[in-house]
Chain A
Amino acid sequence: MLQNLFVVRHSPLRIMEMFYWPFIEVVLWGFLTTYLAQRDTSIPGGVGILLGAVVLWDVCFRTQQELAMTQLMDMWDRSIINLYASPLRQREYVTGAILFSLVRVLTGSVLLSVFVAVSFDFNILDTGRVLVPALVGLLGFGWALGLVIRATVLRFGSNAEVLAWSLALLLQPIAAVFYPVDSLPGWLQPVSRAVPVSHVFEAARAFLARGEVLTGQLLLAGALDVVYLAFGAWVLSVAYRSVRTRGLLSRPGY
């Protein structure tokens, strides 16, 4: 955690990347929603719901990315051996990275939300009582994905780093971010319902459209997150043991 904070302090790029892509995406969707609103397009809950989806999705996407990036940066620096040869436990290393990702993601999200409110007249706080459980659900799934990416990068080296940018995006079409699960083809709907953030977005849309709190959906998202987090932790522990058995830990980037 301390090492990551020092890195951010001296790296304008690491600070800029917290905002750059999210802002680009929000501006793009902001103009699109403005255009749709002018055309009087009928979307339940109003076109602002799309902007809310962008802001919330960004939480999940960047959480998994941040968790993966901290490990990748240690590997790129070839300094990761120093960490693994110290008394630092794997769970402490990961916990530090999770806390660091939380700080980065929440900081970026607050600024992004203010920008959206000022520029496009959409207040994320309109999601009301759903907001906090939604954030928990999004962070939880982001961490679960991040753990799987860390495990894959640990086992297969920096060849697997493309996952840090692509895994969440791969799931986005079935995560009900911009449209309800029911609008997906029938065969894909069970897959979508197995993704925790689908339930988060269903609950957020229901609240924005009808003021309804879908407690069941939010609880289901939380329960699925627990399952995926446990799976991610298990995959990481298997990968950690595997690289130590194969003698790969001292050759990061193999």
Chain B
Amino acid sequence: MPDAGGRGAAEHAIEVVDVVKEFGSRRVIDGLTFTVPRGQVCALLGPNGAGKTTTIHMLLGLTLPTSGAIRILGHDVVADRSAALARTNFTASYVALPWRLRVRELLKVYAELYEVPDPKQAIEEVGELLSIRDFLDRPGMSLSTGQQTVVLLAKALVNRPEVLFLDEPTASLDPERAVVVRRLLRKVADERAMTILITSHNMVEVERLADRILFVAGGRVAADSTAAELRERFGADDLEEVYLKVAEHTAAGTLEEMWT
């Protein structure tokens, strides 16, 4: 239900209802339906081409659905995009920093865009949180790929979003840094009751971070559960094995039978 634009509580942080997306004659999302309650960390998994990134892009208003409804915190993303995105943020492995800007300037630009009441304090806070204070005054172009990824994560947290969309956020990080970022995201999500929708091909990351897993195959939800339950259901030792079995059953057309 819409929350009339205020900070009132819509029941779900994310609502995706019977969404279809076609690119020409190719249907990439086929009646996708799911909801994510406030404060939940939800992972969107699936093979390449399953429609994960298209789903995130539709949630961000970057891509328009062919039909169906998408609401963020009660706001319709198509009809009321700006209000829907005001309390969200996003980062992805394929997004880059503006080269010429200093990190502090980048964060200031986005703090202003998201109408953060005290940008200076927000920048200090996020700088401390992600341990990037040492390079706040360096230009984006002088940072390593890993540092740029962390700065983009800082951009994604600068407005203390209620809903955070992450598309392969740790893809370019070394394992040590990835662990730190993963722990930090979990901590921030718990402390702030922040909703996270994350895509990743790193099954360890998903298992450690996500409360819930949505497997997407053929443009619809193929499986929806916790990592533990999925392991049990598929008789797998880890999530990677589950992933492979889901992909196998999807290809064979036997997933529904297996799942129900």
Contacts and interface: CB of A to CB of B under 8 A. Distances in A.
Given A6-B102, A247-B54, A247-B63, A78 B94 contact: yes
Contact of B113 (A10, A73, A88, A249): A88
Contacts of A129: none
A3 interface: yes
Contacts of B101: 3, 6-7, 10
Contacts of A85: 60-62, 85, 90, 165
Interface stretch (B104-112, B179-187, B213-221, B233-241): B104-112
Contacts of B64: 241, 244-245
Given A86-B114, A88-B113, A244-B61, A3 B98 contact: yes
A2 interface: yes
Given A85-B60, A86-B114, A250-B63, A77 B99 contact: yes
Nearest to B63: A247
B63 A87 contact: no
B109 A2 contact: yes
A140 B160 CA distance: 40
Interface string B52-65: 01100100111110
Contacts, number: 91
Contacts of A10: 100-102, 139
A81 interface: yes
Contacts of A161: none
B155 interface: yes
Interface residues of A, number: 27
A80 B145 CA distance: 18
Given A82-B95, A87-B85, A247 B105 contact: no
A95 interface: no
Interface in A201-249: 241, 244-247, 249
B113 A86 contact: yes
Contact of B63 (A7, A78, A82, A249): A249
Interface in A176-221: none
Interface residues of B, number: 39
B109 A87 contact: no
B255 to A, nearest CB: 26
Contacts of A89: 81-82
B92 interface: yes
A213 to B, nearest CB: 44
Interface of B: 21, 23, 53-54, 57, 60-64, 81-83, 85-86, 89-90, 92, 94-102, 105, 108-110, 112-115, 139, 152, 155, 165
Pairs of residues from A and B, 3 with the lowest C-beta to C-beta distance, nearest first: A78-B96, A6-B105, A247-B63
Given A3-B109, A6-B100, A249-B63, 12 more contacts: A3-B101, A7-B100, A10-B139, A79-B95, A83-B113, A84-B62, A85-B85, A85-B90, A88-B82, A247-B23, A249-B62, A250-B63
